[in-house]
Structure 1
């Protein structure tokens, strides 16, 4: 059954990925349900009583896309309690909602949880060794999904995105930060060397949709482009597209527990979900710089 015949709830629908997923599901004519109170205010996913109070209204849902989370690595060090409370307790509450309302399936947005790579590219069998509070909180969420699947039969599809980018992303993320600096004539970042696997939001949303359609009971998928680029390479690509002389500076500051290179093995998602990334880094950057 396609998603056009499903009733769907997205948590984090006002966030970067959530907005794009919501628009895509509306184009598929899915029936969308919002987790808001009678005054139109978003319900706090950390509050189990508020969520339980919506039980009767939410019993017809087929799929929950659980995207709501605190996502910043730096702030997870500054506010670990808030990170764990939102990401772990919020996930637990959404799984409880699935259990109480007999919701068949949850699609969970996890994160990069592998720590320093033992080998490249990284497949789903790679040891998980998260090295910051944010990724540790997401791995705890995965374990909750596994537990609710084993104990209560809830179907759980877990995505481990590498570095998502695209239009509408917060300005404190790397690519939007670089692009927003172009008009000043100078780009300053901390460290030119770390390499990351960048996947465009359009491809990420396509994976979410295929995950919603997937008939498996429990599975985990890496989502990335399958190639890594350094911060320096990304800056050079953006400046080349922009077409002006831009001064580039580096602060010489390396993040705590920095991972110097990582990129995804997406063979499982390609084979099982029939998903593959379509937008190259050059195409994605061209679209973002062109929209400035």
Structure 2
């Protein structure tokens, strides 16, 4: 595979009509033959360009997956249930999507001799033992979602070692951007909705907890880099390396929307992770990944109802949270 660009390839994006997946599809389709596998339970068909091949089906269905993956060069595996709270309520059901289906993807990739770029998560770290968090940090998930993503992360490594399957796992921190919506949208979209409606911006706890917010366009760049790197069989943190408190975030949203919404505090969530932030030095070294979108400019763009300049489909590419929560 060319070391500097992803062109003239047949690629599959699972969950390609979703938040991150649709941005990835939009970038890839200009120079590649792109297929999307999505059941549209949360994805939106209107996000997809007209010239991509859409297979409407469930990633847990081996027949649909086989049809979608036949002859592909790269699989970007984005399909998942991304709600931490839903995984707590329904661990078996979310495991079927987040882990069982991911094994089907890896097995299908073996049949096709295709590279796999997988969406992992910072949730695998649980309460971080060090900040910023390196990939070598202890993993101690605090939810079934985190356990599922950790198992996926490890399966990706193991498939590389056992079967020589080229895999890269990307451990997303708190991803935000256009098209993030629905009952499990991120805290930024939730705060924007509250500010636009002149409702109180509601923070759980004192607001001093910190997170690493990374724009979806930077996540797309990371995926494109992972699709061409020689450093396969590895996992990489994808964030910005900058931690922002939830209170600072609320102030950014108020400034961007020119809102007078008061900031109010509720009881903290039980078990909430206090601080999280990515050490992205490994991704910078191996993938050439550098985040480009600052948080204030990213929020300002969202507040204006637009999006930032899309990632070029010809360049090498340099989590989602529950609604109202910060994990």
Q: Which runs of 5+ in 2 are unaligned?
A: 40-52, 307-327
Aligned residues: 285
CA distance in 2, matches of 1:58, 1:3: 18
Question: Equivalent residue for 2:23?
Answer: 20
Q: Offset at 1:72?
A: 0.6
Question: Equivalent residue for 1:31?
Answer: 33
Equivalent residue of 2:121, what SS?
A: coil
Question: Equivalent residue for 2:325?
Answer: none
Question: Equivalent residue for 2:49?
Answer: none
1:24-67 deviation line (CA, Å, top 9, x unaligned): 1123x111123379x96522111224434x2xx74321100001
Question: Equivalent residue for 1:262?
Answer: 276
1:187-218 deviation line (CA, Å, top 9, x unaligned): 22323232100001111111111111112231
Aligned 8 A contact 1:146 1:156 in 2: yes
| 1:132-281 mapped onto 2 (5 Å cutoff) | 132-171=143-182, 172-186=185-199, 187-191=201-205, 192-254=207-269, 256-281=270-295
> Which of residues 63, 75, 85 is equivalent to 1:64?
75
CA distance in 2, matches of 1:246, 1:34: 40
Question: Equivalent residue for 2:128?
Answer: 117
Q: Offset at 1:90?
A: 0.9
Q: Which runs of 5+ in 1 are unaligned?
A: none
User: 1 or 2 for the larger relative contact order (CA 8 Å, sep ≥6)?
Assistant: 2
The alignment status of 1:126 with 2:143, answered yes or no, reads no
Q: Answer 1 or 2: which has greater helix percent.
A: 1
CA distance in 1, matches of 2:189, 2:79: 21
Aligned 8 A contact 2:73 2:112 in 1: no
Equivalent residue of 1:91, what SS?
A: helix
The alignment status of 1:5 with 2:8, answered yes or no, reads yes
CA distance in 2, matches of 1:149, 1:24: 27
